[in-house]
Structure 1
Amino acid sequence: MTLVELTIVLLAIYLGARLGSIGIGYAGGMGVLALAVVGVPPGNIPVAVILIIMSVIAAIAAMQLAGGMQYLVMLAERLLRSNPRQITFLAPMVTYLMTLMAGTGHTAFSTLPVITEVAKEQGIRPSRPLSVAVVASQIAITASPVSAAVVAMSGLMEPLGVSYLTLLMVTIPTTFVACMVAALVANRQGVPLAEDPIYQQRLAQGLVGQRQQQSQALPEGAKRSVAIFLLAILAVVAYATATSPAVGLITEPTLGRDHAIMVVMLTAATAIVAFCAIDASQIVNQSTFKSGMSACICVLGVGWLGDSFVSAHIEEIKALAGDLVQAWPFLLSVALFFSSMLLYSQAAATIALMPAAVSLGVDPVTLVASFAAVSALFVLPTYPTLLAAVEMDDTGTTRIGRFVFDHPFLLVGVTAIAVAVTLGFVWGEVLID
């Protein structure tokens, strides 16, 4: 029966991957039903993570409606154009910081056209900055104070003595350095733009466009909305630090960390609506709101499916995998890498596998160091930001090869995760007792 149940889980994941987007969550729920039919009781629903995603997205969508995202893109463009020859290194910095702040990699959509145009203007192969920018937007999720993946991971680590702040102190520097190393790799990928035959062909056919200068006035509340959202993030981090046992400034908090994130983000959304003169009824039409609610369904379905199977077979999993992971800790990162490749969600991969790793008795340093490996969303060339980069590069340099996996994101992404995990083990030993 265990084999039958595992087959159900794998088939549900496969179907979800084929359906794509929110279909992953749908298929996960169907998998829970199928497991129940064969006698496996439903596991725990990751309610707290889902509610946090909803709260954070509510604030981000309000900021987007107020023009805050437009303002951030304007700042990003200024930075990219300040030193355009270094676009391959500046682009991942921009997408990393925007994801770090917003907790979603979908913020990269708005910067990809700018990256493409700046690269073309400088005669730089656009696939170089685009590939590492997309990867940076994915791996930064594991360092964002308000991302669902970090919240879920922190909830698992705090009982093991690793605070929310310590987790961030490991993941932020290691993932950022990893992105810069990946930029070095990206900067050497492919022939120079002028020597690319596909570019030359498209140029001759008039398929390579030129940038159209557009001056769009910022809405009145744009800067104010960004300030409110930044203050909310700082408040979340400050409260989590103050209530951490390691700091102990607040020993008996009225609000737990998860509750604090929710109420602070909802308060920030209220402030943006009230002080930035926006129509609250239009928030649900924002692209960030739609993608966030889709993420909630994905986490619900996949997280529930994973917990149902793992909870039913935790003893067998301990017996089979416990010794292997203890002997070769890097195997955990390998498992997370391939899981996230299929689940298309850092949060879903974290929720599906990390509780089992904790149950196996894996040491905290290994858990934290391996966390970055849940960011392998770049492997299959079907993730939205990856596809957007391909579509926006009209030079044809950012392309999917005949063998599916031969695309410019793969080597860059694998490099970023390998470096982040390696540095995580080194830096984690220093910070984690």
Structure 2
Amino acid sequence: MLVVELFVVLLAIYLGSRLGSIGIGFAGGLGVLVLTLGLHIKPGAIPFDVIEIIMAVIAAITAMQVAGGMDYLVSLAEKLLRRQPKYVTFLAPLVTYFMTLLAGTGHTAFSTLPVIAEVAKEQGIRPSRPLSIAVVASQVAITASPISAAVVFAAGILEPHGVSYLMLLGICIPTTLAAVLLTAVVTNFLGKELKDDEVYQQRLKNGEVSVRAASTLEIKPGAKLSVLLFLLGIVAVVGYATAISDTVKLIANPVLPCNEAIVVFMLTIATLIAITCKIDTSKVLSASTFKSGMSACVCVMGVAWLGDTFVKAHINDIQSTAGALLQSYHWMVAVVLFFASMLLYSQAATAKALLPATLVLGVSSVTLVASFAAVLALFVLPTYPTLLAAVEMDDTGSTRIGKYVFNHAFLVPGVLTITLSVVFGFVVGNIVL
């Protein structure tokens, strides 16, 4: 029966990956239906705690976007990249990393990818280099963002095991950032030089390659204020989570738990932006960030629910079979998270589905923190939105998906970033924890 149930889970995930985008959430629900009504398994928990955080953060980000804050941030990023265009392979991942770090979602990279592609092309640099590491950086930063659903969930389950919210951030931010920077060095040498690329030369000959002028975004009057308010919201979240943590205990017996606090702070910031920047709130519903965020909510709901249903039904078997193996080979935790996130299509969904089970198996908190970055393997299958956007925005053809599907520009930077993040995580984790 176990084999049949596992087949249902994998089939649902495969179907979701074929449907793409929000479809993986749809298929997750179908998988739960088959497992529960068809195979009589008790349903797992729907990850509403993760979903509510994503919704609240997206609400604040979208309010900032409608107020012009995203355009303002993109204009700053473009100025930085054009000021030092020769170093675009190193600056591009820094831009996408910190935008995701502050926003809690990798979808902020969409707005900077066209700028990265154009700056690289103007300098004769193979665009696949900065684009690939920029996309990977936007994904790994999810595991270091103070307001990402994945980090908040991980911090919540690790707190009783001696890893506070600040400790988790203190380990994940420097280790993932160092991994991104070192990977950027390697990425700068991947692939042929642009002038020697046959695909580029053919496209150039056919007149399919164009060079755009620097963008002239009109910055709205409330743009800077919206960014300031959003940053204040992040400071409030970090400050409150620290104050109520078991380590600091500045606020004893808090009325407002951490998850609910993030939702309250983010919705409050959205309200303040709407009032002070005088935005048309009806435009929030049609904003690109809002659509991406709500799609992510459905994906997390379906896939994480499916994973939780299967894992809880077989937790004893998993513990007896995998417990000793994971205890002997700690790095296997990262491998499990890597392949799971590749299929589950979401860092938050992977964390929700597997981290609790991993703790039950007796894996140490150091191992779990060090392996946390492995949930970013969304780049392996070339179907993730930011990855596809990077391919589409590079008209030189250097950022392409090979005929064998997996031989694409993002695989090497992604795997290397995860490997370095995990290695650095073990080193720093064993010192700090």
Shorter chain as denominator, the TM-score bin is over 0.9
2:343 aligned with 1:330, yes or no?
no
In the TM superposition, what are the counterparts of 1:30-45 in structure 2 within 5 Å?
A: 30-37=30-37, 38-45=39-46
| 1:5 maps onto 2:35 in alignment | no
Structure 2 counterpart of 1:126: 127
What is the Cα deviation at residue 205 of structure 1?
1.5
What is the match of residue 23 of structure 1?
Answer: 23
Deviation of 1:258 (Å) = 0.7
Q: Shift in Å at residue 396 of structure 1?
A: 1.1
Specify the code of the residue in structure 2 equivalent to 1:3: V
Q: Give runs of aligned pairs for residues 162-181 of structure 1, distance below 5 A.
A: 162-181=163-182
Residue 263 of structure 1 aligns with which residue? 264
Q: Secondary structure at the match of 2:378?
A: coil
For 1:31, the aligned partner's letter is G
Which residue pairs with 1:341 in the alignment?
Answer: 342
Which residue number corresponds to residue 144 of structure 1?
A: 145
Mapped contact 2:71–2:217 kept (Cα < 8 A): no
Looking at structure 1, the residues matched to 269 and 302 of structure 2 have their Cα atoms a distance apart, in angstroms, of 28
**Offset at 1:382?**
1.3
1:153-187 deviations in Å (ceiling 9; x for gaps): 11211121211111111111110011011101110
In structure 1, the partner of 2:298 is 297
Say whether residues 1:412 and 2:417 are aligned partners. Answer: no
In the TM superposition, residue 197 of structure 1 has moved relative to its aligned partner by 1.7
CA shift for structure 1 position 122: 1.0
Partner of 2:61: 60
Comparing 72-81 with 242-251, which one deviates more in the overlay? 242-251
Identity %: 64
Q: Structure 1 residue 186 and structure 2 residue 187: aligned?
A: yes
Q: Deviations over 1:397-417 (max 9, x none)?
A: 111112111111101110000
**Which AA in structure 2 matches 1:24?**
I
Compute the displacement of 1:304 (Å). 1.0
**CA–CA distance in structure 1, aligned partners of residues 55 and 374 of structure 2:** 24
The within-5 A match list for 1:299-378 is: 299-378=300-379
2:49 maps to which residue? Answer: 48
In structure 2, what is the Cα distance between the partners aligned to 1:360 and 1:109? Answer: 38
- Deviation for aligned residue 1:222: 0.6
Q: Aligned partners of 1:431 and 1:344: how far apart in 2?
A: 31
In the TM superposition, 1:77-96 aligns within 5 A as 77-96=78-97
Instruction: For residues 142-163 of structure 1, give each alpha carbon's deviation from its aligned partner in whole angstroms, at most 9, with x where no partner exists.
Output: 0011111111211211121211
Deviations 1:178-204 (A, max 9, x none): 101110111010111111122122112
Residue 284 of structure 2 is matched in structure 1 by 283
Cα distance in 1 between the residues matched to 2:14 and 2:403: 22
| Partner residue in 1 for 2:204 | 203
Residue ranges of structure 2 left out of the alignment (5+ in a row): none
Matches within 5 A, 1:207-222: 207-222=208-223
The alignment partner of 1:377 has SS state of: helix
Q: CA deviation at 1:356?
A: 0.9
Give how far 1:212 is off: 2.8
Q: CA RMSD in A?
A: 0.9
User: 2-side partners of 1:163 and 1:368: how far apart?
Assistant: 11
Q: Distance in 2 between matches of 1:303 and 1:137?
A: 22
Deviations 1:296-336 (A, max 9, x none): 11111111111111111111110010000000011111011
Residue 160 of structure 1 is matched in structure 2 by: 161
Tell me the equivalent position of 1:223.
Answer: 224
Amino acid at match of 2:160: P
357-366 vs 194-203, greater mean Cα deviation: 194-203
| CA-CA distance at 1:379 after TM superposition | 0.8
Paired amino acid for 2:284: I
Task: Using the TM superposition, give the Cα deviation of residue 214 of structure 1 relative to its aligned residue in structure 2, in angstroms.
Answer: 3.7
Q: Which amino acid aligns with 2:32?
A: V
Matches of 2:178 and 2:8 in 1, distance apart?
39
- In structure 2, how many angstroms separate the alpha carbons of the residues matched to 1:122 and 1:212? 13
| Cα distance, 1:265 vs structure 2 | 0.2
Q: Which amino acid aligns with 1:29?
A: G
User: Following TM superposition, by how much is the alpha carbon of 1:216 offset from its aligned partner in structure 2, in angstroms?
Assistant: 2.7
Check whether the contact 2:229–2:273 (CA below 8 A) recurs between aligned residues: yes
Q: Deviation of residue 279 (structure 1)?
A: 0.8
Q: How many pairs align?
A: 432
**Between 177-186 and 213-222, the greater mean CA deviation after superposition:** 213-222
Structure 1: where are the runs of 5+ without partners? none
Matched residues in 1 for 2:140 and 2:166: separation?
Answer: 18
Indicate the residue corresponding to 1:100 in structure 2: 101
- The worse-fitting range, judged by mean Cα deviation, of 263-272 and 245-254 is 245-254
Letter in 2 for 1:352: A
Which amino acid letter does the alignment assign opposite residue 44 of structure 1? A
Cα distance in 1 for residues equivalent to 2:307 and 2:217: 46
Q: CA deviation at 1:213?
A: 3.9
| Distance across 2 between alignment mates of 1:275 and 1:80 | 31
Q: Which residue of 2 aligns with 1:254?
A: 255
Q: Give, in whole Å, the separation in 1 of the partners of 2:215 and 2:367.
A: 48
Question: Match for 1:16: what amino acid?
Answer: G
Residue aligned with 2:45, SS: coil
